Structure 1
Amino acid sequence: MVQIKFLFALLAVMTIVLMGANTVSARDCLSGTFGGPCWAWSGEKCRRLCIEEGHVSGHCSGGMKCRCEVC
């Protein structure tokens, strides 16, 4: 019984995380030069590459992608 409750709780958390990962500002776009997953410690590299691409800034999204702001 405890395992079933744990599985339902895990499913609920994963659903919330995935819904949040898909919520992106309409003004954001994917970086054209960032490769691989964008982890929390990759944030500075993501920002730098987005600025070099001509964007205002950049950030790692919940979907582990580097998103540039104001495209």
Structure 2
Amino acid sequence: MMQIKVLFSFLAVLMMIALGPNKTEAVDCLSGRFRGSCPVWSNKKCKNTCIREGRRGGHCSPSLKCWCEGC
């Protein structure tokens, strides 16, 4: 039983190490030019709108808003 706890603890630490550096340092912000709702199939439109705004890219959120990356 102790070996399983040690194994799971080791795996948990490995996961934190592996996933830690993947955090984005840039903050996302709402697009100022995207109009209407932003469902999943509008991701390309949202991304292109954000690029025209001078951002790195963009994506639609579950709340149907267009978020630009790198604000």
Is this a same-fold pair by TM over 0.5? yes
* 1:58 counterpart letter in structure 2: G
Give RMSD over aligned pairs. Answer: 1.6
Q: Which runs of 5+ in 1 are unaligned?
A: 1-24
Q: How far is 1:51 from its partner?
A: 0.3
**Equivalent residue for 1:54?**
54
**Equivalent residue for 2:31?**
31
Q: How far is 1:62 from its partner?
A: 1.0
Q: Which runs of 5+ in 2 are unaligned?
A: 1-24
Runs of 4+ deviating beyond 6 Å: none
- Give the structure-1-normalised TM-score: 0.62
- Give the structure-2-normalised TM-score: 0.62
Q: How far is 1:26 from its partner?
A: 7.0
Q: What is the count of residue pairs matched by the alignment?
A: 47
- Is 2:26–2:69's contact at 8 Å kept on the other side of the alignment? no
* Secondary structure class of the residue paired with 1:36: coil
- 1:1-71 equivalences in 2 (<5 Å): 27-71=27-71
